[in-house]
Amino acid sequence: MKSVVCKFDDLVSGKAKRFVVGDRAIAVVRIENKVYAIGDQCSHADVALSDGEVFCDTKEIECSRHASSFSLETGKPNTLPATQPVRVYVANIENGDVVIEVK
């Protein structure tokens, strides 16, 4: 299922924003002219990744609680303490809208 979550221009590069699509909370991240979508819950504990810092150069988002950094492309944690990946979603820009694909 594809869902429009916002206008691309509503997003700020280097920041994450939380959206709910169906029953899933998703952190949508803009880095320059691209968008990424990752499940908005750390795999280590129930913490919203959208509250964390975005690292544009490495395309990662850091959990605000214990600082695990997750790849926005694969969802894998690149630093401890998290060891399990977070789900990532296909995100595209279509006619100025940010479209997330949730299967």
47 is a contact residue toward ligand FES (CB under 6 A): yes
**Minimum separation from the CB atom of position 61 to ligand FES (A):** 10
User: Could you tell me how far CA 57 lies from the centroid of its own chain?
Assistant: 15
- Structure tokens belonging to residue 1: 């299922």
Residue of 5, 29, 42, 100 that binds ligand FES (CB under 6 A): 42
DSSP-based three-state secondary structure for 10: helix
Question: Applying CB under 6 A, does 88 fall inside the site for ligand FES?
Answer: no
Among residues 17, 18, 48, 81, the one that binds ligand FES under rule CB under 6 A: 81
| CA distance linking residue 17 with residue 38, whole number of Å | 10
Segment lying near ligand FES (by CB under 6 A), choices 3-11, 31-39, 63-71, 86-94: 63-71
Question: Which of 74, 71, 73, 67 is CA-nearest to residue 53?
Answer: 67
The answer to whether the CB of 36 falls within 8 A of the CB of 29 is yes
Residue 39 tokens read as 């499940």
- Per CB under 6 A, the list member of 28, 82, 99, 100 interacting with ligand FES is 82
Q: Which residues bind ligand FES (CB under 6 A)?
A: 42, 44-45, 47, 63, 65-66, 68, 81-82
